[in-house]
Amino acid sequence: MLRALLFILLAIPALVNAQRTITWNGMQVNALDKHGRKQGEWLFFDKQGNVQMQCRFQADKVEGPRVFYNGGDTVLVRFQPVDSLEHFIYYYKNQPVNGVFVQQGDNFRIEVDHIPAGFTDEDLRELKNWYAVKIDPVYMFATQPLIEYFSAAYYKSSTIPNMNHNFVITINASGKVTNVEWGEKDELWTANMERELFGMIYSMGRWQPFFDTWQTKEIKLTMSLGADLSSITAR
């Protein structure tokens, strides 16, 4: 299925390539236009750089289906919902199962056109998990380790001491850092240090925005940056 995905990406108009993009396997994807809106084909990744989901944006809104992957194989295709119904194709052991997610108020159910042989309650729970899947922010869409950015930034710094730093960053729905909140400032904190640290964070590359159901959303990440430049993030 990834071969089909690559063919689709190669067909993206040249206009998209002129926008701000991410390079993946030699191709330009995940474009932002001059207004910071998501445009064209987008890929979302896990922290190891594996493709988790593909969709298409038009001025920040998802158009058409979302395709979810597991280990490089297509596992679920979800189509645009109509009223309370969202049709899908679920691949169970490479067998396509057509169905619909039904959400009516607090009531949720799954209907399928047939129960494939060997399908168990555990498999049904797995399908429900795919319905509720959320895709977390990843720095530079997993194309560049965060530690590389901080290592280069610290090397150029003249005021940032070799110490632990704890802060909260806000990442908007396009993957840009828009706010930084710092914890308690000790006696080592200076105005120059604050200026450099804040400049370092606001100058970071793009983040993969947090994706929830049918849209990307603003999110806050708590980040702990150790003296060894290893970083831990949590939302």
Map out the domains of the chain as residue ranges: 2-133, 140-234
pLDDT at 192: 81
- The string of pLDDT tens digits covering residues 100-134 is 999 888 899 999 999 999 999 999 999 999 998 99
pLDDT at 190: 77
SS (H, E, C) the chain: CHHHHHHHHHCCCHHHHCCEEEEECCEEEEEECCCCCEEEEEEEECCCCCEEEEEEEECCEEEEEEEEEECCEEEEEECCCECCEEEEEEEECCEEEEEEEEEECCEEEEEECCCCCCCCHHHHHHHHHHHCCEECCCEHHHCCCHHHHHHHHHHHCCCCCCCCEEEEEEECCCCCEEEEEECCCCCCCCHHHHHHHHHHHHCCCCECCEEECCEEECEEEEEEECCCCCEEEEC
State which residues of the chain have pLDDT below 70: 1-19, 159-163, 186, 226-235
Question: Hey, what CATH topology would domain 2-133 get?
Answer: 2.20.110
